Amino acid sequence: MSFPTVRMRRLRRTVAMRDMLNQVNLQPSNLIYPIFVDEGIKKPVAIESMPGYSRLPVAQVAAEGKQALEQGVKSVLLFGIPAKKDEAGTSAFAKDGVVQKATRELKKAFKEELVVIGDVCLCEYMSHGHCGLVKDGEVQNDQTLEVLGKVAVSQAEAGMDIVAPSAMMDGQVGAIREALDDAGFEQVPIIAYSAKYASGFYGPFREAAESTPKFGNRRSYQMSQGSQQEALREIELDINEGADMIMVKPALAYLDIIALAKATFNVPIVAYNVSGEYSMVKAAAQNGWIDEKTVTREILTGIKRSGADLIITYHAKDAKVWLNQP
């Protein structure tokens, strides 16, 4: 059967009919809201390359958690900018570290109402800006695992609901699972940043988190943009090491990886709609070149349609505004 018996436009005629047939519905509860907490400031500091976003002092984190809940968003992802950086990442696992303090504030204010997720990495805490311990100019894999385990445990002790290792060290999920279990935190889930590509889209984040590497780049640990099979292998390894959810990052240039992951594995898939993807939308919208709400919805619907169950996005901040866009 074909035209004129078949007319595809018959089912597109009214808003109600289009809505009725909609297969992909964005929900604020599927969004994760990133927060940058800075130990060294008293007032919010705007992040220039991320319009609408600021680094916040610990004292203001609970207000931000409330903002997330008001948008219908149920979870936040914490990134810390410590007052002091060194070559051992010490402040990443300090009892009174910036993320640990922020976690306590959020859990005190919202208890089980808000899911608090901690990024487990060292780049923001290292004077050299790399995601692991460095010796003779090389990022050391196995020595870093022990430190990542300590970071995860110290976050769990502060009340963190989920830990999300993003350092891209081999074996990090298994090491963190073991460290958490040994410390009695066998109920704390892990979201593994499994397929994390070395990307130009992280630029604004590195300004926000002051985590640009002082020498070299992250290509010896983050994935190379042309690889596809390798992503599936990374994900499989992480699931075998105990990951409860896996992540693909960035999202937009890697929708094929999200779709493949969804078709291959039966764990929840998280996609990270990263800083540069947010900044591009903001910049074009500020120039009047695109309509921000329409484009934001379209981008996040596309990420979900490709197979993501959850999306980490800076657009979560005003989810209500663009979700209600007709």
User: Could you list the active site residues?
Assistant: 196, 249
What is the C-alpha separation between 47 and 199, in angstroms, rounded?
19
Give me the half-sphere count of Cα atoms (radius 13 Å) on the Cβ side of residue 125.
24
Q: Which stretch binds ligand PBG (CB under 6 A): 22-30, 204-212, 238-246, 251-259?
A: 204-212
| DSSP per residue, 225-266 | TT-SHHHHHHHHHHHHTT-SEEEEESSGGGHHHHHHHHHH--
- Helix (H) / strand (E) element for 312: namely strand 310-313
When asked if residue 322 is in the footprint of ligand PBG (CB under 6 A), the reply is no
When asked if residue 123 is in the footprint of ligand PBG (CB under 6 A), the reply is yes
Build a one-symbol-per-residue string for 125-144: x at contacts with ligand PBG by CB under 6 A, - elsewhere. ------x-------------
Q: Of 110 and 202, which has the nearer Cβ to ligand PBG?
A: 202
Least distance (Å) from ligand PBG to the CB of residue 281? 13
Q: Which of 28, 41, 141, 206: binder of ligand PBG (CB under 6 A)?
A: 206
- The token pair that represents 280 in the structure block: 């591009």
Q: Of 110 and 273, which has the nearer Cβ to ligand PBG?
A: 273
What is the C-alpha separation between 158 and 101, in angstroms, rounded?
7
Length of the chain, please? 326
Q: Which residues pair with 323 in a beta bridge?
A: none
What is the C-alpha separation between 26 and 230, in angstroms, rounded?
29
Q: Of 218 and 317, which has the nearer Cβ to ligand PBG?
A: 218
When asked if residue 205 is in the footprint of ligand PBG (CB under 6 A), the reply is yes
Least distance (Å) from ligand PBG to the CB of residue 278? 7
Name the residue number minimizing CB distance to ligand PBG.
205
Q: Residue numbers of the site for ligand PBG (CB under 6 A)?
A: 119, 121, 123, 131, 166, 202, 205-206, 211, 218, 274-275
